[in-house]
Structures are given as structure tokens and as C-alpha cells.
Copies of this chain bind each other. A is one copy, B any other.
């Protein structure tokens, strides 16, 4: 197996640290130490920690998008697919004891105005995510299993925003309760 190159090691270490500790609480030294590479090598690959932050967010969003595959499983009814999808998201948060949150939300909170270009990447990530969810919601509206009259894309955006808030509360309270409440409210009240 080929040895991962230094840039890849920095991205992987950066993703883990920026997700678990946050952007401003993590130094370039923390990242190079975790990657096991000399500090100086960082700047051969990234102009700044901000540049790495943008790349790490893109990688995070790509990885998170694979969860959306369960939304394509047409052997299940649309709302059953969404239930599976929420279970995956809740499982990923449970696996880190609710400590990491969602990088989209964390970066929205911490970095929206700090890193040039960050808003564009965040906006694109939120829009892509909402578009995926909207397909399933629209399908459920067509088959009558969801009667909510709002446009599917509006519902999808609201549901994703509400997820971000539930994740924050789970992190603050170190508890799964906000996430279970979220899934129940979305499936049994919003998507009624």
C-alpha cells in the first residue's frame, strides 16, 4: 500500500483536530504533531491554517454526503429512508459522545466571517445537502405520505438547520436526547 503523502496526512490530522477541538483552539503545530510531520512542511502544502480549513471542510462534506446514499434506497418508503438517515446521523454523533458536532455548524459559528471564502463553501455545502433531502421529501409529498404544504426544498433547509441546532444542544448537554427529540419532531410533526 502506498504511504500517504504529507499533504494527505495533514488533511487527515487537520480534519480530526478541527472537528474535535475547533479551528481557533487548534494550532498548526497541533496539526503537524498529529500528522507526524515537521512543522515547516505544513507551509509547503498550505498557505495558512485558513487554507487547510477550507480543504478540510470540503473533505468533511464529501464524507458526510455518503450518508445520503440511504435516501436513494427505493425499496423503502420515503419516510422510512429518512428515519434510517437520521439514525445514521445520530449514530455518528453518539460515536464521539456528542463532542464534535457537525463541522458545517461549527465552522458556520466560528469562521463565517473570519476566513475569506468560507461563506461560499458553507453555502454550497448546505445547498447540496438540502437538495438531496428535498428529493425524498418531494417524493413523499407526491405519494401523500407527507402532507406538509411547504415546498420540499424549504422543508429540507429547515430540517437541516434544525439538525444543526439539535447537534449543538447534544454537544452542550452531552446527551442524545436532543437528537432523538429532533428525529421524532421531524418525522411526526413537520413531515406529517
Contact = CB atoms under 8 A, between A and B. Distances in A.
Nearest to A177: B157
Nearest to A161: B165
A163 B173 CA distance: 17
Given A150-B185, A158-B185, A109 B110 contact: yes
A172 B99 contact: no
Contact of A126 (B21, B25, B126, B172): B172
Given A108-B171, A162-B161, A185-B150, A113 B99 contact: yes
A185 B192 CA distance: 13
A18 B177 CA distance: 28
A181 B169 contact: no
Report the contact-size class of chain A (Cβ under 8 Å from the partner).
35 or more
Contacts of A108: 168-169, 171-172
Contacts of A182: 158, 161
Contacts of A158: 162, 166, 181-182, 185
A70 B53 CA distance: 41
Interface in A99-137: 99, 101, 104-110, 112-114, 119, 122-123, 126
25 contacts: A22-B24, A24-B25, A24-B110, A99-B113, A106-B109, A109-B109, A110-B110, A112-B171, A112-B174, A113-B171, A122-B173, A123-B173, A126-B169, A150-B185, A150-B189, A158-B185, A161-B181, A162-B166, A163-B165, A164-B165, A164-B168, A164-B169, A165-B168, A189-B189, A190-B190
Interface of A: 21-25, 99, 101, 104-110, 112-114, 119, 122-123, 126, 148, 150, 154-155, 157-158, 160-166, 168-169, 171-174, 178, 181-182, 184-185, 189-190, 192
